[in-house]
Chains A and B, each alone.
Chain A
């Protein structure tokens, strides 16, 4: 394997870690108002992600930063081609980060309710948008010669049209449900009392609902039957584990499923990074988009030094906060 392929693999790893880690905190954000009755329970649910969410989100920073460094053309084509969807993602992530970080800074019930509402809606929107964007770009973009989508009369449709495709819609529903499933299994693992019980009960329901987008993906030809069979097996296993109270295994199985799906979407067209629906010759490929050997060597040295350290201290952070979070009694 050459360095460019190694870096492609590392970018896939960044996306896997981002979707697994940020996926569960999207899910917790969405589910906190549903599973937590009263501010004490809601607070407990949100506290399970409080110390770790920004570390999780940094995997997105890593994925995009490394893409820029290792494959400038991929970075340029993907972001300018999906301009408005990515702007929407940035806006929802901003709302989310602020709601999460600011909810505990004021001791005021109304303030916290507003923050929880903002957190839930932005988490839902972010999961849907990421699902839609990955669905859309796995189907390819109408890229022209310069790696850009041509303007179509100055309208907003240039970069938004992709979000209306069947692939994007299936992606959005899958994104929301998978994040919710990750969130439910994570909450049942990390909380106590009623939040834990409700989260455990919700997980099999969410696994069942995931059959809908799965079926649509098979019908529209986005997913081969073998892949669908594997996914159904995984969902059944998750539902069984959750029902049996094997919380850690249920969470791990969901995480593995998200990881497998992310890898599948990203490597399906390898060595094509971003397919052009107009002409295969205009697709962005690993060899065509790779940075110079010097740039790749530079980030490789940094990566060898830094990445193991990053993973080690993230593991350490999770270890420090391993204790279950109990709901606080509501102050009268």
Chain B
């Protein structure tokens, strides 16, 4: 691989990894705030216990998000300096404002929340976690505006002297139609990620671990499982609705991406949606395919008979528009990542719905039937499914934009730092890979450790034997 390919691989690795922790932080911050509010309103101990647990999960996740997020901010200068020069005028303000406003809010107020239990009044303390939750959402909106510019450049002009993009209107940059659809889609995906994690921990402790049903924390764990399930289910519906909106916007601004998602080579009216196909993604005839008639036309435009442009026609159009070149993304990756994104997301929502149904009216999750066993067995992989859905979503949206870095404006191959050497990128890729691998192991073990702890102190145990439990403040 050359410097360009290595740099692209590195960008993919560090960005995908960072994005395991971001959606979890967004969701856990809001859930912690919600649980603490519920506790303040009702005074019920369950809510307090769960606030502490979810808050600790948030702290651990947020820390990984911060250190991997720092890499994100630097890497446009490290590996993509030509792109930074070209597009710094537009991208820089979003990054600066996100850093100054949202990141500061989150970092400072999360510290105040975690260490401030006995130093702040109850209302002020509750306010700090809400500020964190709001901060994460503002962060997401501003930073998605930067990505939306790459999908659909708006609010810029080209400087006649330097040939670089120049910001013309920050409000328009934020209100990019792609951002208005991608932002709710991303937030819904984040909610599903946090919901699935809580669902798994709660369900495991309420129904799966030894002596679970008789445990003094059983009610709290059950509450956590059902809360996680509701969040996952509602988020799943929101993901589907917002995804449909985003697909329609994307069909207008990047028809090539949506054609690649369907591996639709020839332009078609009343186009069917392919559920899956074997072979054919490279342009040949598939030897097996399962289609739903007219659905693609409906998804793309809302009209069952509408014409959907195919890859071949778009390629010819782009050659006329942008000059000779290959404007077709990697179609099999686009086709399969799109399907895997939808499939894993729908699976999470389905599992959440089944858990809610089976545990209604205080019933236990397991039973003697096969479904109960399958549901219990699915718990360990459940938190990974939304992570997979998020990852496939980003792989789809980023690779199917290629060869463009900023669509129609700037090629990926022109963005890489000109002086960079292969050896340098290999060394950094190795460093990030190794460290991130270790981090993943530590984070996972820590989450498992937190999930194994009891929520409430054992009434049988001698009081205050453990200094960490003696105070209301979490230990450090």
Contacts and interface: CB of A to CB of B under 8 A. Distances in A.
Contacts of B98: 65
B424 A158 contact: yes
Contacts of A154: 421-423
Given A79-B74, A148-B418, A331-B467, A47 B92 contact: no
Contact of A61 (B73, B109, B474): B73
B85 A155 contact: no
B109 A313 contact: yes
A154 B432 CA distance: 20
Contacts of B59: 101, 105
A50 interface: yes
A331 to B, nearest CB: 5
A302 B119 contact: no
A84 B167 contact: no
Interface stretch (B110-118, B328-336, B357-365, B455-463): B110-118
A314 B70 CA distance: 20
B88 A98 contact: no
A220 interface: no
A151 B74 CA distance: 20
B81 A80 contact: yes
B95 A68 contact: yes
Range class of the B interface residue count: 35 or more
Interface in A63-104: 64-66, 68-70, 72-73, 75-81, 83-84, 86-88, 90-91, 93-95, 97-98, 100-104
Interface string A130-154: 0000000000000010111111001
A16 to B, nearest CB: 16
A91 B427 CA distance: 12
Nearest to B56: A105
Interface string A228-248: 000000000000000000000
Given A79-B77, A93-B67, A102-B442, A295 B467 contact: no
Contacts of A320: 112, 116, 119-120
A78 B77 contact: yes
A295 B425 CA distance: 31
Interface string B147-190: 00000000000010000001111100000000000000000000
Interface stretch (B100-108, B340-348, B391-399): B100-108
A306 interface: yes
A303 interface: yes
Interface stretch (A52-60, A189-197, A203-211): A52-60
A156 B429 CA distance: 13
Contact of A292 (B109, B159, B435): B159
The A interface is mostly helix, strand or loop, or mixed, namely: helix
A310 interface: yes
A61 B99 contact: yes
The B contact surface, by secondary structure, is helix
B67 A94 contact: yes
Given A93-B70, A294-B166, A80 B428 contact: no
Interface in B109-148: 109-112, 114-116, 119-120
A51 B476 CA distance: 10
A145 to B, nearest CB: 10
A295 B90 contact: yes
A76 B107 contact: no
Given A68-B95, A72-B84, A87-B431, A306 B112 contact: no
A172 interface: no
A298 B108 contact: no
A302 B138 CA distance: 14
A144 B77 CA distance: 16
Given A75-B77, A155-B423, A321-B115, A83 B428 contact: yes
- Report, nearest first, the 9 A-B pairs whose CB atoms are least far apart: A72-B88, A79-B77, A69-B92, A101-B63, A65-B99, A76-B81, A104-B476, A80-B81, A69-B96
14 contacts: A69-B95, A72-B89, A76-B82, A79-B78, A87-B432, A101-B59, A105-B449, A156-B423, A156-B427, A291-B88, A295-B92, A295-B167, A320-B116, A320-B120
Given A70-B96, A329-B467, 11 more contacts: A61-B99, A69-B95, A97-B67, A147-B85, A155-B421, A292-B89, A294-B168, A295-B93, A302-B101, A313-B108, A328-B467
Interface of A: 43, 46-47, 50-55, 57-58, 60-62, 64-66, 68-70, 72-73, 75-81, 83-84, 86-88, 90-91, 93-95, 97-98, 100-107, 144, 146-151, 154-156, 158-159, 291-292, 294-295, 298-299, 302-303, 306-307, 310, 313-314, 316-317, 320-321, 328-329, 331
